[in-house]
A and B are shown apart, each in its own frame.
Chain A
Amino acid sequence: MSDVWIIAANTFREILRRKVIYVLVLLGVLMMIIWLGQTSLMNMASEADEPEILLQMKTSQTRIFFGMWSSCTAFLGLFLGAVALATEIRTQTIVPVLVRPIPRWAYLVGKWLGTQLFVCLLLGLGIGIGLVIMWAFELEMRPLLWFSMLEMFAGATLFTGVSLGLSVVLNPILAGGVTLLLSSVPNMIELLFRHPHWALKGLAATVYYLSPAHMPTDLLADSFERELLQPDYALYARVIVENILYSMSFLLAGCILFSRQEIKLK
């Protein structure tokens, strides 16, 4: 396992030196600027003594913050996972590593772990900021929000693991694209499920089971904007676990293929 940790730590350091991180910081600054624009509206609502509108605005802004941050980190995970291997092969930094007595799977798992660690830390940072905002806005913390946060971590894991696993056999653009497609499939095939023809229904069922598990409700929105009467926590937990396992299955397949694969350098 020490090989995995060595590769993971190195991958983490490597990501910190990527220019994309600075793009992310820029995006964060832009988010803050948009945020500041909204707070002036909140001040107006506060001055007009409209507590309900003010609460609605605070809730909505916090939800948007969480949503944007988790989407950004998930997409960053997707990007970093998809390019992790290809970059190492392109820059040939993979060669002095793979000629050492480390198993190929340990290398790939290390790449994933380093990427995952970075994405999770970034997500954790965003969640921390979000919680501070909630505290400042005196918003109620519903139990569903914890599930929503778990879903955010699972989403980041899903994107990172699947895109890295696929990048063993596909180029980074395709790996990223297919990952995105797979995660959108459950939403796309809903209509097919309702189709009267058995073949299309069957196709929908097949595709459904090949794609990641679909959360039946928007946990983030439900955490803030409406209260579910009977939240099915067991189902939500199952979807989260299934998606993590789904991601791991892609990573495992990637490890098996990578162990047998040639490293062709340009």
Chain B
Amino acid sequence: MNDSVIEIRGVSKTFRSRLRRTAVRALKDVDVTVVRGTVTAFVGPNGAGKTTTINTILGLLKPDQGSISVFGLKAGSREARRRLGFQSEIFHPYPFHTARAAMEFYGRLSDQPRAPLGKAVERQLERLGLGDSMDRKVGTFSKGMIQRLGLAQALLHRPELLLLDEPTTGLDPQGRKLVADIIQEEQARGTTVFLSSHILSDIERTCDRLIMIRNGEVVLRQEIGSPFQQEGWEIEVTGWCAGAESDLARAGYRPARVDGTIAYFGCTDAEKRNLLRRVLDLSLDVGVVRRPSRSLEDIYMEHVQGQRRV
């Protein structure tokens, strides 16, 4: 059984002005695979091509080259659309609907039977914290409430694939946490999530795969979590003094950095045990022993500012 939910192969897309005088290449030979049941983050700076990619997955845009399949079906086909839920960066509902009417409208367009729809609408609105505003006109909603409604409508028909384009835009920390919790709940239910976001802390918290795009090209594909850790060890030694420095130097160990009475050492797996023994022999205290790691932000900045390509 093919385990990929989204398969993007060699997709390029160029936008041309009406008179074809200027051309902007939005996507260049993009390859993306989203595996079933994963939460994949799609990150990149503004204008990198994230929304264009999502719009091609939805079938709103057509690639100039390459192919896109969703559940093995042609992107944008009715069957593919039936199985996905989408929230755009800014959700655009009809302002004259109440939250309940908007949800019922989208639910009915998703082929949801009328009878259970009412209950499903209430359940999703409650889940997104809009229970008290069900019968309020959407036009009177705050930006955060509209975003919550956007997520609620994407979840309404219990899709197998959730495409979320910057779902936390305009949300307060409480709302962001709610979205993160919902993503985790959906993943536990078996939903595949493809999430475009700028908020790296949210991605670290919720996603297990990362795809980074810059200038329309995929520059990084990586697992989130342990892969961010590097080789070797970082050891923090407290009670540092000049005598200790000379003793350890004789044994071939020099601190990478000294901060007052705290020294930081870097060593390999093979060196770790010996170094720790010597430190303890000198009656120094070992503060922390850890794998050195880079944050997602470090990786993001490295790929976005630099020219690295993986």
| Residues of A participating in the B interface, judged by any CB pair closer than 8 Å | 2-3, 6, 10, 13-14, 17, 91-93, 95-103, 262-265
Residue pair A92, B88 in contact (C-beta under 8 Å): yes
Residue pair B88, A100 in contact (C-beta under 8 Å): no
**A residues in contact with B55, CB < 8 Å:** 263, 265
A86 to B230, CA, bound (A): 52
**A residues in contact with B60, CB < 8 Å:** 95, 98-99, 262-263, 265
Residue pair A14, B78 in contact (C-beta under 8 Å): no
**A residues in contact with B108, CB < 8 Å:** 2, 6
A2 to B108, CA, bound (A): 9
**B residues in contact with A17, CB < 8 Å:** 96
Residue pair B153, A96 in contact (C-beta under 8 Å): yes
Q: Is B259 an interface residue (CB 8 A)?
A: no
Residue pair A10, B105 in contact (C-beta under 8 Å): yes
B28 smallest CB distance to A (angstroms): 18
- Number of A-B contacts defined by CB within 8 Å: 64
**A residues in contact with B153, CB < 8 Å:** 96
Residue pair B96, A100 in contact (C-beta under 8 Å): no
Give residues of chain B (140-165) contacting chain A, Cβ–Cβ below 8 Å.
Answer: 150, 153
A92 to B58, CA, bound (A): 14
Give residues of chain B (86-102) contacting chain A, Cβ–Cβ below 8 Å.
Answer: 86, 88, 90-94, 96
**B residues in contact with A264, CB < 8 Å:** 15, 61
- CB nearest to B94 among chain A residues: A93
**B residues in contact with A96, CB < 8 Å:** 86, 88, 91-93, 106, 150, 153
Interface-central residue, A91, A101, A262, A264, by most chain B CB under 10 Å? A101
**A residues in contact with B19, CB < 8 Å:** none
- The residue that A101 contacts in the complex, of B15, B81, B92, B94, with Cβ under 8 A, is B81
Residue pair A13, B109 in contact (C-beta under 8 Å): no
On whether A99 and B84 interact (CB within 8 A), knowing A14-B94, A14-B96, A264-B61, the answer reads: yes
Q: Is B172 an interface residue (CB 8 A)?
A: no
On whether A103 and B78 interact (CB within 8 A), knowing A93-B92, A96-B86, the answer reads: yes
**B residues in contact with A98, CB < 8 Å:** 58, 60
New A-B contacts (17) at CB < 8 Å, excluding given A92-B88, A93-B93: A2-B108, A6-B105, A6-B109, A14-B94, A96-B93, A96-B150, A98-B58, A99-B81, A99-B84, A100-B106, A101-B78, A101-B82, A103-B78, A262-B61, A262-B62, A263-B60, A265-B55
